[in-house]
Amino acid sequence: MDDHRIVGEARTWYRDSWDPSLSVGAWFRMMYESGWGYPTWPERWSGKGLPTSGAKLVRAERRAVGALGPPSGIGPTLLAPMLFRHGTAEQCDRFLRGMAYGGETTCQMLSEPDAGSDLASLRTTAVRDGDDWVVNGQKTWTTLGQHGDWIFTLVRTDPEVKKQAGISMLLIDMTTPGVEVRPIELIDGGHEVNEVWFTDVRVPGDLLVGELNGGWTIAKFLLGNERVGVAPVGATKRALAALKANAGPLMDDPLVRARVAELENDLLALELTALRVVAHSSDGAPHPASSVLKLRGTELQQAVSELALDLAGPASLAAHAGDDSPQEGWARRSAPTYLNLRKASIYGGSNEIQRQIISRTILGL
């Protein structure tokens, strides 16, 4: 399908179908069943089979109409591509509809207390017992795990081989006996991440994704997709535009204007890089330059939050929590946002790891 046809068909469908009075659930079903909710998904599972570049055009047309987007999050953006590439048709049939309708939420559990950047050192085990797997161990930094219905996680299934070779990927129902979620309070006071414990958790054998001991290959594919997604160009541009609109007379300072202009130029360069990565990705596999997106995208995300904190000054302190004026509102949010985004350069593989990947796979050093 060429770009003009994609734009025309998407524009027509959204213009004729979007109705703000629709319930959210009804709208999600309509998008899924039409194929325009997740246009990169294969046609067999209610997609259009479009490349990622085509999906960007569809999103632009949806936003132009002002229509609500489909459920996002880890399920549609990370689990679905993983199942298309490495899962079975039965697994796709079982999980896609729930995540597309917004009825089921998914989270990923990769990191452990002693296996973060060195992910292959994970120690959570899965031992075969009849038709099931029995899982024991601990995961940490699980984003929104307190709301998850399902998780996909890496487990060690063969401790006798090279550490990368003895890892598998499992899907686990969060309501299974033996799964315990414990909150981790962040520096900004929020509860966004968790540690999760597994104690003799029984997992049906058909919830193994891909080949036994093939989890490291799946993890590399998964993390490549995540790194593209954690370069939030659009969100960072919106945050910078909102800061310009709210900062008032602070924007008259030539040094402030220079910092804003530099950030805008850097974001434009990152946006163009993202388009190049999408154009050169094939068969659903992200280009190695996804590490560039993750590295630079999180740096710019943090830089915008740092500029907001600098402009807010003392107004960012909690003592101003009783002032509801618009300016003080954005100023109060600047400190929690700044603190929360310190994590951005760590998740999805730390930026130090991304530099190693860039030097090895792109620069050939």
- Res 153 pLDDT > 80: yes
CA distances 288 to 149, 227, 355, 357, Å, are: 31, 10, 11, 8
pLDDT at 320: 44
Q: Is 343 helix (H, G, I), strand (E, B) or coil?
A: helix
Distance CA(74)–CA(39), nearest Å, equals 17
pLDDT at 283: 54
- Res 211 pLDDT > 70: yes
Distance CA(122)–CA(169), nearest Å, equals 12
Half-sphere exposure in the Cβ direction for 295 (13 Å, CA): 15
pLDDT at 336: 87
| DSSP class of 359 | I
Q: Is 87 helix (H, G, I), strand (E, B) or coil?
A: coil
Percent of the chain with pLDDT over 90: 55
Q: What is the mean pLDDT of residues 4-17?
A: 92
Q: Is 314 helix (H, G, I), strand (E, B) or coil?
A: helix
Find, among 115, 163, 111, the residue nearest to 139 by Cα: 111
Least confident residue range of 6-10, 71-75, 94-98, 248-252: 71-75
pLDDT digits (tens, 9 = 90+) for 273-295: 887 776 666 555 566 777 888 89
Distance CA(37)–CA(39), nearest Å, equals 6
Half-sphere exposure in the Cβ direction for 55 (13 Å, CA): 20
Least confident residue range of 88-102, 228-242, 288-302: 228-242
Q: Could you confirm whether 226 is annotated as catalytic?
A: yes
pTM confidence score: 0.81
- Res 319 pLDDT > 50: no
DSSP β-bridge partners for residue 230: none
Phi-psi region of 144 (alpha: psi -120 to 50; beta: other; left: phi over 0): left
Q: What is the mean pLDDT of residues 211-237?
A: 82
Who has greater pLDDT, 279 or 240? 240
**DSSP state string for 6-72:** HHHHHHHHHHHH--TTS-HHHHHHHHHHHT-SSTTS-GGGT-----HHHHHHHHHHHHHHTPPPPP-
- In this structure, the number of other CB atoms found within 10 A of the CB of residue 20 comes to 8
The single residue of 195, 211, 226, 264 carrying the catalytic annotation is 226
| DSSP class of 197 | E
pLDDT digits (tens, 9 = 90+) for 28-63: 999 999 999 999 999 999 999 988 778 878 988 998
Question: Which residue is it, tokens 């939030």?
Answer: 232
pLDDT at 230: 64
Q: How far, rounded to the nearest angstrom, does the alpha carbon of residue 87 sit from its chain's CA centroid?
A: 19
pLDDT at 281: 62
- Res 162 pLDDT > 80: yes
The phi, psi pair for 176, rounded to 5°, reads -65, 135
Least confident residue range of 157-171, 285-299, 338-352: 285-299
Distance CA(51)–CA(33), nearest Å, equals 19
Distance CA(294)–CA(296), nearest Å, equals 6
In order of their start, the domains of the chain are 3-101 (1.10.540.10), 106-213 (2.40.110.10), 230-362 (1.20.140.10)
